[in-house]
Amino acid sequence: MSGRMKAVLAAAKGKDWRRKKAKAQGGRCFYCQCEMVEEPVKGQGRRELTLDHLLPTSRGGAHHWENVVAACITCNGAKGDMTADEFMAARMAPAPALSRNPMIEKGQP
């Protein structure tokens, strides 16, 4: 199966999973516990609900119910192809003393 076909199938499955996973998690992001919505409204401060693979598919993770969690779009983007454990550790880790936090330097909109 081509990568593109896999992505299409994953997206079709994902729609339903997104909702179910989010419900199972009380509508909160698996990583940061923020409240998520399927269709965020500007100015409400809520983030879009996405599906994230605990072990990224790029690293051999399966698109399997057990390997998927509901995560906000911010965490999903920040996680990239880290595993859930790596990402949690990265979130907990204090900012390196010698380098400034790039998020602060860039400035939040």
The residue ranges that bind Zn ion (CB under 5 A) are: 29, 31-32, 72, 75
CB 74, min distance to Zn ion, A: 5
Residue among 27 and 61 whose Cβ is closer to Zn ion: 27
Residue among 6 and 23 whose Cβ is closer to Zn ion: 23
Angle at CA 71, nearest 5°, toward 23 and 43? 90
Compute the distance between CA of residue 101 and CA of residue 50 in angstroms, rounded to an integer: 25
CB 88 within 8 A of CB 82: no
CB 98, min distance to Zn ion, A: 27
Residue among 99 and 108 whose Cβ is closer to Zn ion: 108
Compute the distance between CA of residue 90 and CA of residue 82 in angstroms, rounded to an integer: 9
